[in-house]
């Protein structure tokens, strides 16, 4: 039986690949896509989600617009990475479908409360504003959440937005603190693992060689997206941050991590948004997240290419 999931996202080229990976995987049932301002503002993220559903012919997947700002802070966006549309590198048609009128937070709450015995897996690959808001408004959903699989944070790798803060957590650290303190089962994909999940030039060649509309779109998006990280880090390709979340749900054996205590810095101006990961257990605090650190890169890329080719 497919695993029911909700993808909470701010597309973003790597978000796009995560969505496409999920839609190409029969192991997963995408109950809906919820959007959150992050890489680009609302309503661009919602438009981008609709474009991706239409690209794959999956207009049956409902898209729910969510938060347009963090809980307590001004919105910080990342057009410098993703371009002004969030999906630069491909020219997708203006969507003919529309988002649902229900707010993303209400959809998350209602979906969790209606969950069957499998529960619902929440897959936030953007700022955690929607997820935190749903938990704060209706904490009775927590027992219905099978797992929250998060792309966010960093520890030994540091940050990509400040010296210590990763973008998704930095945008809304207050929301991240609510989620990590919620008691829900959490699996975390920080920069320490996602920076190892590189798509290299030869991998882009494999995607281009698929020869489909979806394959061409992915190759175009990633060709644009990689320029930022190649220049910034001096690496050979682009990290596929968000697809790690979906790949883990399909094949968890691709990743290695361990249970840790994770706390979020919300007060210090110097280190706001830092994920303080007690990797060595020095505090003796009870773990609240499974923190991933290693990826089988070749196996991960094989999975991405194979599933994109199905669409």
Q: What is the pLDDT of residue 97?
A: 97
pLDDT of 115 higher than 90: yes
Per-residue pLDDT reduced to its tens digit, 157-195? 999 999 999 999 999 999 999 999 999 999 999 999 999
Band of residue 77 on the pLDDT scale cut at 50, 70, 90: very high
Band of residue 261 on the pLDDT scale cut at 50, 70, 90: very high
Could you tell me the CATH number of the domain that includes residue 89?
Answer: 3.90.245.10
Per-residue pLDDT reduced to its tens digit, 196-240? 999 999 999 999 999 999 999 999 999 998 777 777 778 788 899
Q: Residue 179 and residue 286: Cα distance in Å, rounded? A: 16
Q: Residue 145 and residue 265: Cα distance in Å, rounded? A: 25
The residue with tokens 């001004």 is: 74
Structure tokens at 260: 């840790």
How many CA atoms are closer than 13 Å to the CA of 294, on its beta-carbon side? 5
Q: Residue 89 and residue 42: Cα distance in Å, rounded? A: 20
Name the residue range of residue 150's domain: 3-310
Residues 66-85, mean pLDDT to the nearest whole number: 96
Q: What is the pLDDT of residue 116?
A: 87
Residues 271-284, mean pLDDT to the nearest whole number: 98
Per-residue pLDDT reduced to its tens digit, 299-311? 999 999 999 999 9
Domain count for the chain, please give it.
1
Does residue 117 or residue 127 have the better pLDDT?
127
DSSP letters spanning the chain: -PEEEEEEE---HHHHHHHHHHHT-TTEEEEEEEE-SSSS-TTHHHHHHHHHHHHTT-TTS-EEE--SS-SSS-----HHHH-TTSSTTS-PPPPSS---SS-HHHHHHHHHHT--TT-EEEEE-S-SHHHHHHHHH-GGGGGGEEEEEEE---STT--SSSSSB-HHHHH-HHHHHHHHTS-S-EEEE-HHHHTTSEE-HHHHHHHHTT-SHHHHHHHHHHHHHHHHHHHHH--SSEE-TTHHHHHHHH-GGGEEEEEE-EEE--S-TTTTTBEEE-TT--S-PPP-EEEEEEE-HHHHHHHHHHHHHH-
The residues annotated with a catalytic role in the active site are 241
Band of residue 38 on the pLDDT scale cut at 50, 70, 90: very high
Q: Residue 234 and residue 228: Cα distance in Å, rounded? A: 10
Q: Residue 166 and residue 79: Cα distance in Å, rounded? A: 15
């Amino acid at each position: 039986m497919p695993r029911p999931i909700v993808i909470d996202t701010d597309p973003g080229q790597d978000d796009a690949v995560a969505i496409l990976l999920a839609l190409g995987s029969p192991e997963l049932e995408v109950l809906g896509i919820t959007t959150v301002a992050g890489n680009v503002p609302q309503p661009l993220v919602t438009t981008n989600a609709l474009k991706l559903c239409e690209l794959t012919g999956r207009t049956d997947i409902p898209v729910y617009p969510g938060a347009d700002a963090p809980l307590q802070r001004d919105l910080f966006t990342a057009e410098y990475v993703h371009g002004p549309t969030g999906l630069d590198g491909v020219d997708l048609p203006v969507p003919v479908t529309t988002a649902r009128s229900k707010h993303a937070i209400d959809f998350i709450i209602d979906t969790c409360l209606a969950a069957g015995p499998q529960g619902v897996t929440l897959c936030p690959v953007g700022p955690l504003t929607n997820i935190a808001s749903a938990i704060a408004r209706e904490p009775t959903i927590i027992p219905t959440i099978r797992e929250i699989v998060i792309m966010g944070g960093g520890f030994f790798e540091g940050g990509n937005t400040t010296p210590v803060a990763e973008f998704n957590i930095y945008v809304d650290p207050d929301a991240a603190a609510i989620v990590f303190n919620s008691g829900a089962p959490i699996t975390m994909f920080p920069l320490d693992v996602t920076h190892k999940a590189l798509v290299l030039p030869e991998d882009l060649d494999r995607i281009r060689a698929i020869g489909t509309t979806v394959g061409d779109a992915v190759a175009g998006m990633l060709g644009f997206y990689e320029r930022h990280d190649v220049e910034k880090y001096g690496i050979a390709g682009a990290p596929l941050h968000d697809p790690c979340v979906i790949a883990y749900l399909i094949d968890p054996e691709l990743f290695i991590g361990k249970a840790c205590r994770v706390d979020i810095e919300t007060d210090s101006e110097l280190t706001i948004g830092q994920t303080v990961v007690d990797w060595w257990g020095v505090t003796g605090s009870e773990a609240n997240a499974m923190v991933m650190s290693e990826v089988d890169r070749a196996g991960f890329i094989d999975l991405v290419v194979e599933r994109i080719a199905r669409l």
